[in-house]
Amino acid sequence: MSPQESAVAPAPTAESRTDEELARGLVAGDEDCLAAAYRRWSSLVHTLAWRSLGDAREAEDVTQQVFLGVWRGRGGFRPERGSFGGWITGITRRKIADALTARTRRLAVIASAGSSLALADPAARQPEAALDRVIVLHELAKLPAAQQRVLRLAFYEDLTHLQIAERTGWPLGTVKSHARRGLCRLRGSLQPDMGG
Protein backbone atom coordinates (compact mmCIF):
# COMPACT_ATOMS: atom_id res chain seq x y z
CA MET A 1 0.00 0.00 0.00
CA SER A 2 1.49 3.33 -1.03
CA PRO A 3 1.64 6.34 1.27
CA GLN A 4 -0.89 8.07 -0.97
CA GLU A 5 -3.34 5.19 -0.58
CA SER A 6 -2.95 5.04 3.18
CA ALA A 7 -3.30 8.79 3.57
CA VAL A 8 -6.87 9.51 4.55
CA ALA A 9 -8.24 13.00 4.72
CA PRO A 10 -8.45 14.01 8.36
CA ALA A 11 -11.91 13.99 9.84
CA PRO A 12 -13.30 17.48 10.25
CA THR A 13 -12.74 18.77 13.75
CA ALA A 14 -15.65 19.95 15.85
CA GLU A 15 -14.16 23.44 15.63
CA SER A 16 -14.56 23.54 11.85
CA ARG A 17 -18.19 22.42 11.87
CA THR A 18 -21.05 24.77 11.19
CA ASP A 19 -23.49 25.55 13.98
CA GLU A 20 -25.96 23.11 12.40
CA GLU A 21 -23.34 20.34 12.33
CA LEU A 22 -22.40 21.06 15.93
CA ALA A 23 -26.04 20.90 16.94
CA ARG A 24 -26.54 17.55 15.18
CA GLY A 25 -23.41 16.15 16.82
CA LEU A 26 -24.51 17.45 20.19
CA VAL A 27 -27.97 15.90 19.85
CA ALA A 28 -26.21 12.62 18.98
CA GLY A 29 -24.25 12.86 22.24
CA ASP A 30 -20.85 13.90 20.82
CA GLU A 31 -18.95 15.52 23.70
CA ASP A 32 -16.45 17.08 21.27
CA CYS A 33 -19.35 19.08 19.85
CA LEU A 34 -20.25 20.27 23.34
CA ALA A 35 -16.63 21.36 23.90
CA ALA A 36 -16.62 23.16 20.54
CA ALA A 37 -19.96 24.82 21.30
CA TYR A 38 -18.54 25.96 24.63
CA ARG A 39 -15.47 27.47 22.96
CA ARG A 40 -17.63 29.15 20.32
CA TRP A 41 -20.42 30.53 22.54
CA SER A 42 -19.14 30.77 26.14
CA SER A 43 -17.72 34.28 25.69
CA LEU A 44 -21.11 35.60 24.54
CA VAL A 45 -22.94 33.72 27.32
CA HIS A 46 -20.53 35.07 29.95
CA THR A 47 -20.86 38.63 28.63
CA LEU A 48 -24.67 38.48 28.69
CA ALA A 49 -24.63 37.08 32.23
CA TRP A 50 -22.07 39.60 33.46
CA ARG A 51 -24.00 42.55 32.02
CA SER A 52 -27.24 41.33 33.57
CA LEU A 53 -25.84 40.31 36.95
CA GLY A 54 -22.92 42.71 37.38
CA ASP A 55 -20.86 40.04 39.09
CA ALA A 56 -18.08 38.05 37.39
CA ARG A 57 -18.40 35.03 39.68
CA GLU A 58 -22.14 34.80 39.16
CA ALA A 59 -21.56 35.18 35.42
CA GLU A 60 -19.12 32.24 35.52
CA ASP A 61 -21.67 30.15 37.43
CA VAL A 62 -24.38 31.03 34.91
CA THR A 63 -22.06 30.16 32.02
CA GLN A 64 -21.43 26.71 33.50
CA GLN A 65 -25.14 26.24 34.14
CA VAL A 66 -25.95 27.21 30.55
CA PHE A 67 -23.64 24.61 29.04
CA LEU A 68 -24.81 22.01 31.51
CA GLY A 69 -28.32 22.89 30.31
CA VAL A 70 -27.16 22.63 26.68
CA TRP A 71 -25.86 19.11 27.32
CA ARG A 72 -28.81 17.91 29.36
CA GLY A 73 -31.37 19.50 27.06
CA ARG A 74 -29.67 18.63 23.77
CA GLY A 75 -32.53 16.35 22.75
CA GLY A 76 -34.86 19.35 22.86
CA PHE A 77 -33.03 21.39 20.22
CA ARG A 78 -35.18 21.81 17.11
CA PRO A 79 -33.48 23.57 14.17
CA GLU A 80 -36.86 24.35 12.63
CA ARG A 81 -37.60 26.57 15.66
CA GLY A 82 -34.46 28.66 15.39
CA SER A 83 -30.68 28.73 15.18
CA PHE A 84 -28.33 26.88 17.49
CA GLY A 85 -26.98 30.20 18.77
CA GLY A 86 -30.51 31.42 19.41
CA TRP A 87 -31.25 28.26 21.39
CA ILE A 88 -28.14 28.78 23.55
CA THR A 89 -29.07 32.44 24.05
CA GLY A 90 -32.56 31.37 25.19
CA ILE A 91 -31.04 29.00 27.75
CA THR A 92 -28.77 31.85 28.86
CA ARG A 93 -31.73 34.16 29.45
CA ARG A 94 -33.48 31.51 31.55
CA LYS A 95 -30.36 30.86 33.64
CA ILE A 96 -29.85 34.60 34.19
CA ALA A 97 -33.47 34.88 35.32
CA ASP A 98 -32.89 31.95 37.70
CA ALA A 99 -29.79 33.68 39.11
CA LEU A 100 -31.70 36.92 39.64
CA THR A 101 -34.51 35.01 41.38
CA ALA A 102 -31.97 33.30 43.66
CA ARG A 103 -30.39 36.68 44.41
CA THR A 104 -33.79 38.12 45.32
CA ARG A 105 -34.38 35.17 47.62
CA ARG A 106 -31.01 35.71 49.31
CA LEU A 107 -31.86 39.40 49.76
CA ALA A 108 -35.12 38.43 51.43
CA VAL A 109 -33.23 36.11 53.79
CA ILE A 110 -30.77 38.84 54.71
CA ALA A 111 -33.53 41.42 55.11
CA SER A 112 -35.44 39.12 57.43
CA ALA A 113 -32.32 38.75 59.56
CA GLY A 114 -32.42 42.43 60.47
CA SER A 115 -29.72 44.20 62.43
CA SER A 116 -30.58 42.24 65.56
CA LEU A 117 -29.50 38.90 64.06
CA ALA A 118 -33.02 37.52 63.98
CA LEU A 119 -31.64 34.31 62.46
CA ALA A 120 -30.51 33.36 65.95
CA ASP A 121 -34.17 33.21 66.94
CA PRO A 122 -35.46 29.66 67.73
CA ALA A 123 -38.06 30.05 64.95
CA ALA A 124 -35.14 30.08 62.51
CA ARG A 125 -34.47 26.45 63.33
CA GLN A 126 -37.24 25.31 61.00
CA PRO A 127 -36.08 23.19 58.01
CA GLU A 128 -36.47 25.98 55.43
CA ALA A 129 -34.34 28.28 57.61
CA ALA A 130 -31.49 25.75 57.43
CA LEU A 131 -31.57 25.99 53.65
CA ASP A 132 -31.56 29.78 53.86
CA ARG A 133 -28.43 29.68 56.03
CA VAL A 134 -26.67 27.53 53.42
CA ILE A 135 -27.52 30.05 50.69
CA VAL A 136 -25.95 32.86 52.72
CA LEU A 137 -22.68 30.93 53.31
CA HIS A 138 -21.18 31.98 49.99
CA GLU A 139 -21.66 35.68 50.73
CA LEU A 140 -20.47 35.33 54.33
CA ALA A 141 -17.09 34.11 53.09
CA LYS A 142 -16.48 37.49 51.45
CA LEU A 143 -16.75 39.48 54.71
CA PRO A 144 -13.86 40.70 56.91
CA ALA A 145 -12.84 38.07 59.48
CA ALA A 146 -14.45 39.69 62.55
CA GLN A 147 -17.81 40.29 60.83
CA GLN A 148 -17.71 36.81 59.36
CA ARG A 149 -17.02 35.25 62.76
CA VAL A 150 -19.91 37.06 64.45
CA LEU A 151 -22.38 36.19 61.71
CA ARG A 152 -21.24 32.56 61.50
CA LEU A 153 -21.73 32.17 65.24
CA ALA A 154 -25.20 33.67 64.89
CA PHE A 155 -26.20 31.84 61.69
CA TYR A 156 -24.69 28.42 62.29
CA GLU A 157 -24.51 28.13 66.06
CA ASP A 158 -27.61 30.18 66.83
CA LEU A 159 -25.80 32.25 69.45
CA THR A 160 -27.16 35.54 70.78
CA HIS A 161 -25.12 38.75 70.83
CA LEU A 162 -24.34 38.16 74.49
CA GLN A 163 -23.24 34.56 73.87
CA ILE A 164 -21.03 35.69 70.98
CA ALA A 165 -19.44 38.34 73.22
CA GLU A 166 -18.74 35.67 75.85
CA ARG A 167 -17.34 33.24 73.26
CA THR A 168 -15.07 35.81 71.55
CA GLY A 169 -14.16 37.92 74.56
CA TRP A 170 -15.23 41.04 72.65
CA PRO A 171 -17.39 43.76 74.24
CA LEU A 172 -21.10 43.42 73.50
CA GLY A 173 -21.10 46.73 71.58
CA THR A 174 -18.31 45.46 69.33
CA VAL A 175 -20.24 42.26 68.59
CA LYS A 176 -23.36 44.27 67.72
CA SER A 177 -21.28 46.60 65.56
CA HIS A 178 -19.69 43.70 63.64
CA ALA A 179 -23.11 42.11 63.20
CA ARG A 180 -24.68 45.32 61.90
CA ARG A 181 -21.81 46.11 59.51
CA GLY A 182 -21.66 42.51 58.30
CA LEU A 183 -25.39 42.42 57.54
CA CYS A 184 -25.16 45.78 55.74
CA ARG A 185 -22.30 44.44 53.60
CA LEU A 186 -24.27 41.29 52.85
CA ARG A 187 -27.26 43.33 51.74
CA GLY A 188 -25.01 45.53 49.59
CA SER A 189 -23.29 42.57 47.93
CA LEU A 190 -26.62 40.98 47.09
CA GLN A 191 -28.23 44.12 45.65
CA PRO A 192 -28.95 43.82 41.92
CA ASP A 193 -26.87 46.08 39.67
CA MET A 194 -29.10 49.08 38.99
CA GLY A 195 -26.62 50.74 36.64
CA GLY A 196 -27.80 48.89 33.57
Query: pLDDT under 70 in the chain at which residues?
Result: 1-15, 110-138, 155-156, 189-196
pTM metric for this prediction: 0.51
User: In the prediction, which pLDDT does 12 show?
Assistant: 56
The per-residue pLDDT for 67 is 93
Overall fold of domain 114-190: Arc Repressor Mutant, subunit A (1.10.10)
Residue-wise pLDDT for 38-78, tens only, equals 999 999 999 999 998 888 888 999 999 999 999 999 988 88
Mean of per-residue pLDDT scores for the chain: 78
Domain ranges across the chain: 13-103, 114-190
Residues 30 and 13 sit within 8 Å (Cβ to Cβ): no
Phi, psi of 97 (to 5 degrees): -60, -40
Question: Given this chain, do its domains 13-103 and 114-190 carry the same CATH topology?
Answer: no
- 3-state DSSP percent of the chain in helix, strand and coil, to 5: 80, 0, 20
Domain 13-103 belongs to what topology? Rna Polymerase Sigma Factor; Chain: A (1.10.1740)
DSSP string, 7-40: --PPPPPGGGS-HHHHHHHHHTT-HHHHHHHHHH
Please state the separation of Cα 148 from the chain's center in Å. Answer: 21
As a whole number of angstroms, the longest Cα–Cα distance in the chain is 88
